[in-house]
Every structure is written in structure tokens, then in C-alpha cells.
Structure 1
């Protein structure tokens, strides 16, 4: 039954993306296109439709705003941003750490590979950071438009090389 529902949903999405004309409507019933000026550039090839992926509701969750805890269940702050490189690969997360009710807190950057998302089925579940509270306290503060110092689990970081 669930497979049938997913198939029906995918079909509805595809029909919406392609439109009725690509599903058998003839050119004679389609609205006439306005005459083209001979000086106008030739029409481009139609673009391919986007791919459609269906992810189960329990398989993926957002991470912004999630609480972060150490393996020892210490409060490590919350995820407030995600940092990607020029290719769009997720490299790190910005964590708002310390303080009380936003006062006295500071942002630090941790390597994406130091985060574990095993327990995020519900919005109240936290992300686990593979670092100690002492390591996070000693991390330099993140400030936008300055070089980023990324705190990572032992030996897991690769340097970023960008041309200016």
C-alpha cells in the first residue's frame, strides 16, 4: 500500500513538472505560439525535467537549531549554520556554544565529520559531537569574513585551498 502511495505521489509530481502536452496532447490542440521574428534567436532545446527523489519522513531531518551534545551527554550548544565549500560539499557546522539565553555565547566551527546524526528522528533529538567540552571551550570564535578555524575530531580535517 505504501509503495502504491509513493508511486501515485511520484506520478503526480512528474505530471505537474512535464505538463499535459508531453503526455499525449497533440500539437493541434496546444495553443498557437506567437509568430517569431526572423531576427530573433532560434529557440533553445527544451530543458530536461529535474530528477525526483522521495525520502522517507524518518530518513532525513533538518539540522539547523538542533541541540548538540557530547558523547558524555554534555550540552555543546546548537547548530546555527552549515558551511559548504565552492563545490557545494558540506564541510563544517557553526555551533552557538556557551552562554545563557543568548548572552555570553559564541560561535565555533566544527568539522562536519565530527557530528553524528543517529538520533534525529524527532525535532527534540540532539546531534552528537565527537569532541569534549574542554576542546570546544578552547576553540577560537567564528567571525564572518575572517579565516575559518575548524575544530575536528583527531586527524579528520583536510585543509581548504582557495585562490583569492
Structure 2
């Protein structure tokens, strides 16, 4: 079955569920039509939550990034993504890369600006993410330590603090 046909079937199913939910909310079943209406909700009572929205993302369109290999502009190994940093508004700002070392020995974590990463081919778990910084620029970055100010290596190779209001 083609991807477009699957998407159409999923969308039709979601629309059918939404229509059934609307119909359930709009008219009572026939056996309840002659029964008196339920008393109004007490003041301060919570209204029922609306049904959640549904979004369908094609498998080839999005994938997780944690644990993905990161390659440099010359296809050099730059490490792997071990965390993602978001600001208080939930906007992705940077990625933490476990850089250097061998089998986890001698490695260190650095933080790079999210815009310095390119996700051209991530359809398979084996596909890597490209970092537009050189190994020398990454070597110069200070190590990431939790509960310390975060220094983000920018897409142009500049270092800048990532500060939040307290």
C-alpha cells in the first residue's frame, strides 16, 4: 500500500472519529431523548476537556536524534547527540554532543547551536547528522557541565552564553 494511500486512510479514520465525537456531543441517543436533561454543572465545576488533536507524520519525514552520529563538513566523526537543550518557551536552542574519546573514555560534552546542524538524510538510524563546524572549532569549545552556564558554539564558530532570566 502506497504512502499516500496510507495517509488518506489515516486521515479518513481521524475524521470519522472526530465526526462521531461531535455527533455524540450534539444529540442524545434515541433512548435518552425522552429523559429529562442532566442538571447544569455546579459553579466552579470543570468542563470536560476537548478531544486531543491528531497529527500524522510520515515515517520518512521525522526521526529521533538522540544517539545519532554527527559528522563534520569533511565527513569526520564529531561524536553523537546525547541531549537537546530547550529554552523556557520550549524552543530548541542547542544540542549536546559527546565529542572525542574512544569507547566513552576521554570524551567530553560540548554544546552546539541547533542551527549549526543539518538533518538532510535521517530516514534510517544509520544516517548521520551534519555539523557545519570543523573539528578545530569544536576542540576549542568549553566542556558542557550541568548546572553551569551553557556556552553554545555558534554556527559561525563563535562562542556565546545561553542565558535565561531567573
TM-score, normalised with respect to structure 1: 0.80
Identify the residue that residue 6 of structure 2 maps to in structure 1: 5
Structure 2 matches for 1:1-164, cutoff 5 A?
2-13=3-14, 22-24=22-24, 26-28=27-29, 41-154=43-156, 160-164=162-166
Tell me the C-alpha RMSD between the 2 structures: 3.0
Query: Any unmatched runs of 5+ in structure 2?
Result: none
Once residues 155 and 105 of structure 1 are traced to their aligned partners in structure 2, the CA distance between those partners, rounded to angstroms, is 20
Per-residue deviation, 1:149: 0.5
Per-residue deviation, 1:162: 2.3
Query: Any unmatched runs of 5+ in structure 1?
Result: none
**Native 8 Å contact 1:84 1:90 kept in 2:** yes
Deviations 1:122-148 (A, max 9, x none): 110100101110111111100101000
Aligned length: 159
Once residues 80 and 117 of structure 2 are traced to their aligned partners in structure 1, the CA distance between those partners, rounded to angstroms, is 12
Which secondary structure state, in structure 2, belongs to the residue aligned with residue 149 of structure 1? strand
Per-residue deviation, 1:4: 4.3
CA spacing shift, 1:134–1:158, aligned 2, 3 Å: closer
Structure with greater helix share of residues: 2
**Native 8 Å contact 1:119 1:125 kept in 2:** yes
CA spacing shift, 1:14–1:75, aligned 2, 3 Å: same
Per-residue deviation, 1:89: 0.5
Per-residue deviation, 1:10: 2.9
**Native 8 Å contact 2:152 2:162 kept in 1:** no
